[in-house]
Amino acid sequence: MNTQEQARFNMVEQQIRPWQVLDPHVLTVLSHVPRELFVPQAYQAMAYTDTDIPLGHGQSMVPPRVDARLMHDLQLTGVEKVLEIGTGSGYLAALLAGRAQRVVSLEINPDLASTARANLQRAGITNVDVRVADGSTGASGDAPFDAIVLGGSVAEVPQALLQQLKVGGHLIAIVGQDPILVATLYTRTADASWNSKALWDTAAPRLQGFTEPSHFTF
């Protein structure tokens, strides 16, 4: 086992499992995706640490356990078409690709999108389509999706995204205002109805392009 493989093993055992990520399929994907390929050169030594890693452009990678838990709570089976909003480095897209048939990933920043494409290619991942787009409107041309995951936090989930879920499909997002952000699972239960369930508290950088509620001061 080389140093990076050892670090990946330790990440799964010490950071991921204690965070209630116990699905063997998800753990297998986490054990196989080389996270160092998705981390900027300057931060290579931090590839498997439990911390945010700056990506530039005001964005950062969340700790591995957050991506792992998002994956776990989506409960993918390997046959889904998934929409990811906020590609970032491409790491979460790579994890999703290991548990889905196809991933469409939208990134608003062209530089990040092109780096993510290169990272995914280097990792040999071929079932992710990275596009430069404002994720807040989704990808209606490819809808409906079995699952949608937001890679950063938002004040609220736009109705446009919920509309792009299949009936029975799930959307997971980190929702709220600092300091209270909650990973929330939305399920489309019928043509015009959805339910939501708060899962766990966390922190994550804001996704760009999503509206923030206005704050009135009197």
Q: What is the mean pLDDT of the chain?
A: 94
Q: What is the pLDDT of residue 178?
A: 83
24-32 vs 3-11: helix axis angle to the nearest 10?
150
**Angle subtended at Cα 212 by Cα 207 and Cα 217, rounded to the nearest 5 degrees:** 145
pLDDT in tens, 142-193: 999 999 999 999 999 999 999 999 999 999 999 999 888 999 999 999 999 9
Relative to beta strand 165-177, strand 145-154 is: parallel
Position 2 confidence tier, pLDDT thresholds 50, 70, 90: confident
Q: What is the pLDDT of residue 211?
A: 86
Alpha-carbon distance of 216 to 118, in angstroms, equals 43
Q: What is the pLDDT of residue 215?
A: 59
Q: What is the pLDDT of residue 213?
A: 76
Q: What is the pLDDT of residue 179?
A: 84
Phi and psi for 28 in degrees, rounded to 5? -65, -45
Q: Which domains does the chain have, with CATH numbers?
A: 3-201 (3.40.50.150)
Q: What is the pLDDT of residue 92?
A: 98
Record the tokens describing residue 60, joined without a space.
């950062």
- Is residue 189 within 8 Å of 202, Cβ to Cβ? no
pLDDT in tens, 27-58: 999 999 999 999 999 999 999 999 999 999 88
When pLDDT is averaged across residues 71-75 and rounded to a whole number, the result is: 95
What distance separates the 2 farthest-apart alpha carbons in the chain? 62
Position 216 confidence tier, pLDDT thresholds 50, 70, 90: low
